[in-house]
Chains A and B, each alone.
Chain A
Amino acid sequence: MPWTKLQIEREEPAFDENLGQDIRKLNFGEALREALDQALERDPRVYAMGQGINDPGGIFGTTDGLREKYGNERVFDTPLAEEATIGMAIGSAMAGLRPVSIHNRPDFLMMAMDQIVNAAAKWCYMFAGQVPIPLVIRACIGRGWGSAAQHSQSLHGLFTHVPGLKVVLPSTAYDAKGLFITSIADENPVIFIEHRWLFKHQGSVPEHVYSIPFGQATVKRPGKDITVLAISHMVIESLRAAEELEKKGISLEVIDPRSLHPFDEETLLQSLSKTGKLIVADVDWKTGGFAAEVVATVAEKGFHDLKKPPVRVCLPDVPTPASYVLEEAFYRGVPDIVQAAEKLMR
């Protein structure tokens, strides 16, 4: 077993969205695999590529057996040439295909920023809607085991800044499948970012094809005292914090926006009108990040509902360190959310 996996097994407690229910369950990775499998099966225009797509590990299990099933023409490994492969994906989308470009880390997408920002995001607008780019770019956020500065970034704040990109970060197996199906069906470029520590988690995932619309947040746990807008793995951390805080008489309402662009402002503002207090928990940096955007939105549109200044629980503004001692100081989780909540209730 790879070290990182070992660490996740040890340090990330199991999470089951439908604990105690006797229904069909898949873990996060299996849900993504099923979604990709069904997309390939139903739509001959869909193809998937990425460095290591046919590795024994199969991109954390999300592509296992798909090359065998669909052949090397539709599921293929690529050279480490992110700029050209994503550019190729864009060109093929212009010619009627629906590419899924898979990357082990968002860090590696930096090599393809020209194609993502200057081509994929622009084509529809620049040519007055004549050539939309239906493209899904998947990337997995790393964390821990000294992954360090270049193998652990989420960077979704960069992508949400650029008009023309849709940005999706699922937190549960059910959402992962439904949002992936929606991403593939969308006519526009979608950046789909998965957190490595979510892959072992499970939940109810129907076998049939279903889609979850973008721009619809979900209340993962209803509550009355504090609204927690949590992104990606921070949803799980927030749910754990909520359990702990319940024992202390503090009730968190945990909201998962699921897609950051488009973003469901209404669900957030509605919750805020009830609680008056806001924590934004993100797996990205604090400065200029999406959490700042959420707080700005609340300042503009929900200012009078605020009873306390909003709090951002985000990564400190430094690159990810390697040493596990520094990692502990760097990452945010249950204790930070608990602390922020207790302070807000004082």
Chain B
Amino acid sequence: MNEFPSDNSAGVISTDQLIGLYREMARIRLVELKVEELYHLDEMKTPVHLALGQEAVSSGVCAHLGTDDRIFSNHRSHAHYLAKGGDLKAMIAEFYCKETGCAKGRGGSMHLIDTAVGHFGSSAIVGGGIPHAVGAALAFKMQKKPCVAVSFFGDAASEQGVFFESMSLAVLKRLPVIFVCENNAYSVCSHISVRQPNPDVVMRPRAFDMPAAQVDGMDVSAVFAKAKEAVEFSRQGHGPYLLECRVQRWRGHAGAGDPLREKYRAPQDLTPDWMRDPLADCEKILMADRQVNGEALEGIKAELKKEIDQAFQYAQESPLPDKGDLEKFLFK
């Protein structure tokens, strides 16, 4: 599995675009590592579901979306939010449950939102956000807006009835929605082999005559290329599209690290060469095939680290919500 990456993106992605994807993935990676590093301090009193290993999917898909396009995310929400352009400071402040958080400390890490960039709130009910994307697409069609809606969900969400109902509705109404399944093969600790008779989620839309593709979700160029097709297809009014991205969840379901990995991971996932790294692979391609200077990439990371440190400082120094405001926001 752990082969040297090949640059199959020539002609599809310009070097500048690839650097952009690299930057996006590096930002997600560095944010997640920082969250993980500080999580044991118990200052972020909210469950976190790290997207480490899965950075290529949100980066590769969101690269094709504009501000008015909408994404609908899930409990593993950080990468989607960041890739769509969500405000970093507000996200970290939400992890610290502060009044300056993107949901003013009412949502926590699973309920991120940044309406200014087309992110209207993630659902932590597995599969719960899928029909919301269909609804946004319905609105776009009725409002005659050239926008698309993207639903990010995992392999476990594809087991929910609402996933099938949503695909059916989207095809029936020919809606501009892209279903992006990040198949990491684990639902908490349950492997897909004990949950699904056929692990290829890409098969599911066949019953609805919906176009679908399976892509290596650990290869950002591959995700970028397929997502481009999917987004263009939907944006041009041809209806929904499903993209199954095969990914690796590096950590446990929630929290820092994966302390129980020996107890639940499939044997093939415990071998030394199991782990692939979409960010390191992208870096190798940039340096070997695109002749990008390693120092330039280090510069990007240094700049990101600075931004991230500032965001954490902002969050730590921000005020907590006022207890007197407990009943605020129930209704508008």
Residues of A bordering B, CB below 8 Å: 47, 73-74, 78-79, 81, 83-97, 114-115, 118-119, 123-132, 163-164, 166, 187-188
Contact = CB atoms under 8 A, between A and B. Distances in A.
A90 B131 CA distance: 8
B332 A129 contact: yes
A285 B76 CA distance: 40
Given A95-B120, A127-B103, A188-B331, 20 more contacts: A81-B165, A83-B161, A83-B162, A88-B135, A89-B135, A90-B135, A91-B135, A92-B139, A114-B128, A115-B128, A115-B162, A119-B123, A119-B125, A126-B107, A128-B103, A129-B329, A130-B113, A130-B121, A131-B121, A187-B332
Contact of A79 (B104, B125, B172): B172
B284 interface: no
A127 B137 CA distance: 21
Contacts of A96: 139, 143
Interface string B115-151: 1000011010100101111111111101100000100
B203 interface: no
9 contacts: A83-B162, A83-B165, A84-B134, A87-B131, A88-B138, A95-B140, A115-B128, A130-B113, A132-B332
B13 to A, nearest CB: 31
A64 to B, nearest CB: 23
Contacts of A123: 121
Nearest to B161: A83
Contact of B332 (A86, A90, A95, A124): A124
Given A88-B138, A92-B135, A164-B330, A126 B162 contact: no
B224 interface: no
B121 A115 contact: no
B138 A91 contact: yes
Nearest to B166: A84
A123 B161 CA distance: 22
A95 B135 contact: yes
Given A91-B133, A127-B103, A130-B113, A81 B169 contact: yes
Contact of A124 (B136, B169, B329): B329
Interface residues of B, number: 41
A124 B331 contact: yes
Contacts of B121: 94, 123, 126-127, 130-131
A97 B168 CA distance: 21
Contacts of B142: 47, 73-74, 92, 97
Contacts of B331: 124, 132, 164, 166, 187-188
A125 B166 CA distance: 25
B253 interface: no
A84 B115 contact: no
B113 A88 contact: no
A95 B330 contact: no
A87 B106 CA distance: 22
B70 interface: yes
A128 B99 CA distance: 10
A84 B121 CA distance: 17
A165 B330 CA distance: 9
A51 to B, nearest CB: 12
A97 B131 contact: no
Interface in B157-214: 161-162, 165-166, 168-169, 172
Residue picked from B131, B149, B162, B165, most chain A C-beta under 10 Å: B131
A119 to B, nearest CB: 6
Contacts of B105: 128
A85 B142 CA distance: 16
Interchain residue pairs A-B with the least CB separation, the first 7: A91-B135, A87-B131, A84-B165, A95-B139, A91-B132, A81-B165, A132-B332
B167 to A, nearest CB: 9
A10 to B, nearest CB: 39
A125 B321 CA distance: 14
Given A95-B135, A118-B125, A84 B332 contact: no
B106 A125 contact: yes
A53 to B, nearest CB: 15
A115 B165 CA distance: 13
Contacts of A127: 103, 106-107, 111, 113, 121
